[in-house]
């Protein structure tokens, strides 16, 4: 149970996310399914907390104009305009953690519900992919 909670806590950390959380769980000896689920749950909880906070902030301040954004946030805004919430959610984790990406999407005016939904899909896909790769890697090393 402590390992499960440890994987959840690790996956809640930006840049660790579900993908490295799942790997940590597999390497720690957890059943791969449990490791992936724990990593996904930890990542989703932290992402939802950020999204809900960003939604409250947006309600108080309004949508941030593009002119006041840093170059990195301007790039994210252009990605949102080009690919929409699904595209940014699925591909955004290659550039920024889900917490940062999802908070920015909501701050830009994207639907809170849509961001949470697509981020959950993305977190699951990335967690399963990296968890599977970790299992294959462990099996490869053990069979060598």
Give me 34's structure tokens.
Answer: 């449990």
Residue entry with tokens 């984790």: 93
Q: Could you report the per-residue pLDDT of 67-93, keeping only the tens digit for each?
A: 577 787 788 888 889 999 999 999 888
The predicted structure's pLDDT at residue 65? 52
Q: What is the mean pLDDT of residues 117-140?
A: 94
CA 40 and chain centroid, separation: 8
Give pLDDT, residue 12: 96
Chain centre to alpha carbon of residue 54: 15
Higher pLDDT, 72 or 97: 97
Ramachandran bin of 96, using left for φ above 0, alpha for ψ from -120 to 50, beta for the remaining angles? beta
pLDDT digits (tens, 9 = 90+) for 32-59: 999 999 999 999 999 999 999 999 988 8
Instruction: Give the pLDDT band of residue 23 (cuts 50, 70, 90).
Output: very high
How far apart are alpha carbons 44 and 130 in whole angstroms? 16
> pLDDT at position 83, please?
93
More confident residue, 62 or 8: 8
- Residue 58 CA to residue 94 CA, distance in Å, equals 25
The pTM score is 0.87
């Amino acid at each position: 149970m402590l390992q499960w909670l440890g994987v959840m806590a690790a996956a809640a950390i930006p840049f660790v996310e579900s993908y490295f959380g799942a790997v940590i769980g597999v390497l720690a000896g957890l059943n791969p399914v449990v490791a992936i689920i724990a990593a996904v749950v930890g990542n989703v909880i932290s992402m939802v907390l950020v999204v809900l906070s960003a939604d409250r902030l947006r309600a108080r301040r309004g949508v941030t104009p593009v002119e006041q954004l840093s170059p990195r946030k301007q790039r994210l805004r252009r990605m949102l305009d080009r690919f929409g919430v699904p595209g940014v959610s699925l591909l955004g984790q290659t550039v920024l953690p889900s917490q940062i990406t999802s908070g920015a999407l909501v701050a830009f005016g994207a639907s809170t519900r849509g961001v949470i939904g697509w981020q959950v899909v993305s977190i699951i896909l990335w967690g399963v992919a990296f968890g599977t790769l970790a299992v294959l890697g462990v099996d490869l090393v053990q069979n060598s």
